[in-house]
Amino acid sequence: SCVFGSRVSAAALITSGSLVCTALADPGPAVYFSLLQGNERVLSVQSIQFEYRLRPAIVSVIPSLAAITGGAVITISIENTYTESAHVTCQFGNASPVSSTAVVSAQEGVGSRVSIWTCLAPAAAAGIVDLTVCLSDGACAGKSEFLFVQPASIDRIYPTAGSTAASTVITV
């Protein structure tokens, strides 16, 4: 069994020398990790800690819409990120995840760590999709609605000329 602080979790042998176990819910922030065999601790090292972290969450997505042709740069702020989250992927609906670029990595915010990333929106059908952002450690920052729209176009303006006094109202 694995022990997270004082909480015991079942362990399964994967290969010789490798176990897998699931951390139990705990308010954290960090607990000592040890192993049990029967009721006896077989490995208990005070220097091995497991850190509980808040789930990452999307704070903002700017802009929250893009043309169906793709290629728009989307800026995403994520709270509860950590410096070792060196890679973030963005998934728009069922499209393949796309890589991102760090703009500001893990700055201290009020009670959390916030990082800012950019992703390129893929080409997609018009409509609302879920935007899911996942960190390199596998934690996903929930979902945010994202809208794909037909590209805007201007057919004409009226009038096509106006006063130099800058008071002409035009209709697009």
What Å distances lie between residue 88 and 39, 45, 54, 59, 132, CA to CA?
A: 41, 32, 17, 15, 10
pLDDT at 28: 67
Quote the pLDDT of residue 150. 93
Whole-number pLDDT of residue 82? 64
| Cα–Cα–Cα angle for 33, 112, 146, rounded to 5 degrees | 110
Rounded to an integer, the average pLDDT of 25-36 is: 76
pLDDT at 23 over 60: yes
Task: Write the pLDDT tens digit of every residue in 111-152.
Answer: 467 788 899 999 999 999 999 988 877 778 878 999 999 988
Average the pLDDT over 56-66 and give the result.
92
Q: How many Å apart are CA 31 and CA 48, to the nearest integer?
A: 9
Contact indicator for 59, 114 with CB cutoff of 8 Å: yes
The pLDDT assigned to 105 comes to 58
Residue 60 pLDDT > 70, yes or no? Answer: yes
Give me the mean pLDDT over the 31-54 stretch. Answer: 75
3-state class (DSSP) for residue 64: coil
**60: number of Cβ within 10 Å:** 13
What confidence tier does 37 reach under pLDDT thresholds 50, 70, 90?
Answer: confident
pTM over 0.75: no
Round the average pLDDT of the chain to a whole number and report it: 82
Report which DSSP code applies to 159. Answer: S
Region 30-48: mean pLDDT is 75
pLDDT of 108 above 60: no
